[in-house]
Amino acid sequence: MKALQYRTVGAPPEVVTVPDPEPGPGQVLLKVTAAGVCHSDIAVMSWPAEGFPYELPLTLGHEGVGTVAALGAGVTGLAEGDAVAVYGPWGCGTCAKCAEGKENYCLRAGELGIHPPGLGRPGAMAEYLLVDDPRHLVPLDGLDPVAAVPLTDAGLTPYHAIKKSLPKLVPGSTAVVIGAGGLGHVAIQLLRALTSARVVALDVAEDKLRLAREVGAHETVLSDAGAVEAVRRITGPVGAQAVFDFVGVAPTVKTAAGVAGVEADVTLVGIGGAPLPVGFGLTPFEVSVSAPYWGSRSELLEVLALARSGAVSVHTETYSLDEAPLAYERLHEGKVNGRAVILP
Ligand code: NAD
Ligand code: ZN
Ligand code: ZN
């Protein structure tokens, strides 16, 4: 089968032919119908060879949906042809966090060498995807594969972050979204669907701000040195009650801290890696800062249910598998509006 692989550190990913996978006992083979292109893959492909955490070559794609093509021995509850979405952050399935459905926070994944597809294990940017356990699969139940695939990460990750801040997003409150890209433009819709907060979106690109307004942002602000002042003009002295930074670099983290009000939640989702020093005099009183990772299985069900209700619709552009390297190039150059989706 054809697959998009990251093969050499520093080189662009390549479309290659690899052996067709076959499901072993307990595994499920999917015919991939769509795979999403996440900025995290670009981060992965920028890491140096020394200490690179995954084996190469690596088939990319940690957002995947497909139809069941074959069942390994002993798999029950699924049938060939079932349309499913893949819950990506695989865990051991038995530790305390996995027992809660929070496999994203599996306590033993590191020790057991368990990785998500596309982030260590062969991913969804291929004609077929091997899934280790049927528990990682969630029924699509009528959702369109292209519209649904970004929800498994670009939907689930902001959903998890926003859900945690819901008690603070009361009427009259403000939520700030920094970075209106793949995750951010879904975050805006989730905030509109789940809260009555005023949503202020920031980005460096005018086309991204336009998309932010189209999907429901009440206000948009250019993310530059004047951003804090511009947001504070909107919120007044009370500031924002929740800030979601989908970039995580030094200037955005500074903006996030600068627009947060007392008792605000500042959630660093972007993996830019800039620190946010918290302390007396450094941040407003009682600010909570967190850096979450992906979301739980039950939250994925909730995101898909929300999409089925029509409250969330991902802005997508599609590419064939052969065009997948171009999709990454365009994402890297900031030219993708919404989410790029590969159709293998
Ligand atoms: P994306 O490229 O689609 O979106 C990023 C957006 O940020 C773009 O619209 C870009 O114009 C904007 N941007 C860049 N610099 C900015 C700045 N200084 N100020 C404001 N906006 C700026 O990327 P994505 O796929 O949505 O991913 C967003 C981030 O989230 C990435 O860092 C990715 O690695 C990370 N991520 C984290 C998790 C997690 O579990 N924590 C999961 C998925 C993605
Ligand atoms: Zn991702
Ligand atoms: Zn576990």
Sequence-ordered list of residues with C-beta below 8 angstroms from that of 12, at least 6 positions apart, any chain: 45, 325, 328, 329
Q: Is 42 in the pocket of ligand 1 (CB under 6 A)?
A: no
Residue with CA closest to ligand 1 atom 39: 293
Please tell me the predicted confidence (pLDDT) of residue 41. 98
Render pLDDT for 112-139 as a digit per residue (tens, 0 to 9).
999 999 999 999 999 999 999 999 999 9
Q: Is 287 in the pocket of ligand 1 (CB under 6 A)?
A: no
Please tell me the predicted confidence (pLDDT) of residue 114. 98
CA dist 185 and 254 (Å) reads 21
Q: Which atom of ligand 1 is nearest to the CA of 268?
A: 41
78 is written with which tokens?
């699924």
Q: Is 252 in the pocket of ligand 1 (CB under 6 A)?
A: yes
Residue with CA closest to ligand 1 atom 34: 40
Residue with CA closest to ligand 1 atom 33: 40
Strand partners, 253: none
Q: Is 334 in the pocket of ligand 1 (CB under 6 A)?
A: yes
Query: Which residues place a Cβ less than 5 A from the ion ligand 3?
Result: 91-92, 95, 98, 106, 108
Domains of the chain, start order: 2-153+295-343 (3.90.180.10), 156-290 (3.40.50.720)
CA dist 149 and 340 (Å) reads 10
Please tell me the predicted confidence (pLDDT) of residue 319. 98
Q: Is 221 in the pocket of ligand 1 (CB under 6 A)?
A: no
- Predicted structure pTM score: 0.98
Q: Is 245 in the pocket of ligand 1 (CB under 6 A)?
A: no
Positions of the chain with pLDDT under 50: none
Sequence-ordered list of residues with C-beta below 8 angstroms from that of 178, at least 6 positions apart, any chain: 184, 201, 202, 203, 223, 243, 244, 245, 246, 247, 252, 255, 256, 270
- Closest by CA to 181, choosing from 36, 47, 343, 35, is 36
Please tell me the predicted confidence (pLDDT) of residue 252. 98
